[in-house]
Amino acid sequence: MPLPKKALHALANPSPSIEAYEGSVRSGKTILTIIDWIRFIRNGPAGTLAMCGRTERTVINNIIIPMQEMLGRKRVQIKYGTGTAVILGREVHLYGANNEQARTKIQGLTLAGALVDEAGTLPESFMQMLYSRLSVIGAKLWLTANPEGPQHWLKTKWLDRARLWIDKHGLEHWSDDPNAMDLHRYTFVLEDNPALPPDYVERIKRAYTGMWRKRYIDAEWVVAEGAVYSSWDPTEHVVAHDELPRLQRVFSVGLDHGTTNPTAALALALGEDDLLYVVDELRIEDGPSDGVMSGRLRTWLRRLPMAPEWLVIDPAAASFKVKVAEDGITNVMNGENDVLYGIRTVSSLLEAGQLRISDRCHALITEIPGYAWSPKATEKGLDAPIKANDHSCDALRYAIATTETLWRPYLDAPT
Ligand SMILES: Nc1ncnc2c1ncn2[C@@H]1O[C@H](COP(=O)(O)OP(=O)(O)OP(=O)(O)O)[C@@H](O)[C@H]1O
Ligand SMILES: [Mg+2]
């Protein structure tokens, strides 16, 4: 496999205890950590090894399976159900860390090495605990990350304290701070990945705008501010209801349930032009009982041009889900509630012109321009939208993010 200059540099430098590969999407960060990791498994000190990500599933999909493709299934075996894999004969523990309790899974361990994919999406407490467990002599930690906000803990407490930083232009910065961490930071951009065809690079660049572009393409740690859907343009994204194309499928109805707040439901369909359309909206402003609400929902569902394949309900609405099931609706799914993932998906569809909204969806069309990043969250280094007038926006996220595997194959877009 051809390695870019930056990657060779990373492989050649005297080894620090932490190697951090951060920067653009698809820039080769994960592959490079895998190459380092395989070497470490062969030659590193004896002792327990850990591979970590948001969930055990993402560790398997993003790291173990690519390793299997490189080394073969014999040398990389997944022990499903045990939370381990055997790689080159060594047992490796797999950890998902998507909440504050996750650190208790590794408390008390003595580790010789760890690899963390997408470290910025893990809790800070987990990363601190992990680092403190690497007590074997010669122990090492690899991490990858995509840029987040400039106050994010991974930047301020880890990356900014690097002893050596190779920036995105390939320039070396050595820190003279006596408190610098024994960490080498490498900032990758798309051009650092020799494997990407130029038309793919162009396509992926076009899929992001605004702050997403700055973060995921330009590898800059910039704040989320202003409108969440900054590319929203009603003249491009809103379609008159009687001009909707003929529909191939109605993938889902996404529903955000409110008791004191409004309830919103939106139907997501595929047009015969292979674009996504939000074809209709149900808004219930007052908070009727679950029974009344379920009745109104069923009446509205019957009026849709096609029955939806899935009813995707906000995971918090437990009692409403029970009611809906009692009323005979069986194709119910919990909404994917990773807010940022949902926002990113909706954003790139709007940006690519692959998602249009019927002018019947009044509340959604009213909410989108006001759906904004929270300055309070930004201060804390987090990205989160302001939680007000966001009910139809939530329903949209649920409808889209939860059924991605159904609609993605129709769209000619980078994933
Ligand atoms: N040096 C290389 N030679 C050949 N293929 C490569 C090389 N580096 C990366 N690739 C390929 O490019 C693609 C993207 O690489 P990788 O998944 O490592 O990116 P990433 O930086 O981790 O992206 P993301 O931020 O999206 O996770 C993968 O399909 C990978 O196999
Ligand atoms: Mg990656």
Each residue of 19-75: pLDDT tens digit? 999 999 999 999 999 999 999 999 999 999 999 999 999 999 999 999 999 999 999
Q: Is the pLDDT of residue 2 over 70?
A: no
Average pLDDT, the chain: 92
Residue whose CA is closest, atom 13 of ligand 1? 26
227 inside domain:
no
Question: Sign of the C-alpha dihedral, residues 200, 205, 207, 212?
Answer: positive
| 196, 221, 255 - which closes a domain | 196
**Tokens describing residue 280:** 């209709």
Mark whether 238 and 309 lie in a shared domain.
yes
Q: How far is CA 413 from CA 5, 170, 201, 261, 281, in A?
A: 29, 30, 12, 35, 26
Q: Which atom of ligand 1 is nearest to the CA of 34?
A: 18
pLDDT tens track for 85-120: 999 999 999 999 988 999 999 999 999 999 999 999
185 inside domain:
yes
Mark whether 304 and 247 lie in a shared domain.
yes
Distance 218 CA to ligand 1 centre (A): 16
218 inside domain:
no
Q: Is the pLDDT of residue 359 over 90?
A: yes
Using pLDDT thresholds of 50, 70 and 90, give the confidence band for residue 3: low
How many domains is the chain partitioned into structurally?
2
Distance 196 CA to ligand 1 centre (A): 8
Q: Which residues contact 268 (CB under 8 A, 6 or more apart)?
A: 250, 251, 252, 253, 254, 276, 277, 278, 279, 308, 399, 400, 403, 407
Q: What's 365's domain CATH number?
A: 3.30.420.280
Mark whether 268 and 180 lie in a shared domain.
no
Mark whether 249 and 169 lie in a shared domain.
no
Asked if 119 and 154 count as a contact pair (C-beta separation under 8 A), the reply is: yes
302 inside domain:
yes
Give the rounded percent of residues in the chain with a pLDDT score beyond 70.
95
Angle formed at CA 347 by CA 341 and CA 353, multiple of 5 degrees: 140
User: Residue 1's pLDDT is what?
Assistant: 56
Which is more confident, 230 or 313? 313
pLDDT tens track for 137-160: 999 999 999 999 999 999 999 999
pLDDT tens track for 388-405: 899 999 999 999 999 999
User: Residue 106's pLDDT is what?
Assistant: 93
Mark whether 181 and 288 lie in a shared domain.
no
Sort residue 103 into left (φ over 0), alpha (ψ -120 to 50) or beta: alpha
Q: What's 72's domain CATH number?
A: 3.40.50.300
pLDDT tens track for 211-245: 888 999 999 999 988 899 989 999 999 999 999 99
**Tokens describing residue 414:** 């980078």
Residue whose CA is closest, atom 15 of ligand 1? 28
Strands 247-256 and 238-239: unpaired
Q: Is the pLDDT of residue 326 over 80?
A: yes
Mark whether 260 and 178 lie in a shared domain.
no
Asked if 315 and 401 count as a contact pair (C-beta separation under 8 A), the reply is: no
148 inside domain:
yes
Distance 9 CA to ligand 2 centre (A): 19
Mark whether 191 and 240 lie in a shared domain.
no
Mark whether 365 and 268 lie in a shared domain.
yes
Mark whether 378 and 245 lie in a shared domain.
yes
Distance 33 CA to ligand 1 centre (A): 10
Mark whether 176 and 243 lie in a shared domain.
no
Mark whether 178 and 327 lie in a shared domain.
no
Query: What is this structure's pTM?
Result: 0.78
User: Residue 203's pLDDT is what?
Assistant: 87
Ligand 1 binding pocket, CB closer than 6 Å: 1-3, 25-31, 144, 146, 193-195
**Tokens describing residue 335:** 């909404």
Asked if 257 and 313 count as a contact pair (C-beta separation under 8 A), the reply is: yes
Mark whether 127 and 270 lie in a shared domain.
no
20 inside domain:
yes
Residue whose CA is closest, atom 16 of ligand 1? 28
Rounded distance between C-alpha atoms, residue 356 and residue 371, angstroms: 17
Residue 347 belongs to domain spanning:
234-410
Name the residue of 25, 27, 31 to mutate for ligand 1: max ligand atoms within 8 A of Cβ.
Answer: 31
390 inside domain:
yes
| 196, 223, 246 - which closes a domain | 196
Angle formed at CA 98 by CA 168 and CA 87, multiple of 5 degrees: 75
| 145, 179, 196 - which closes a domain | 196
Residue whose CA is closest, atom 25 of ligand 1? 25
17 inside domain:
yes
User: Residue 207's pLDDT is what?
Assistant: 80
Distance 238 CA to ligand 2 centre (A): 34
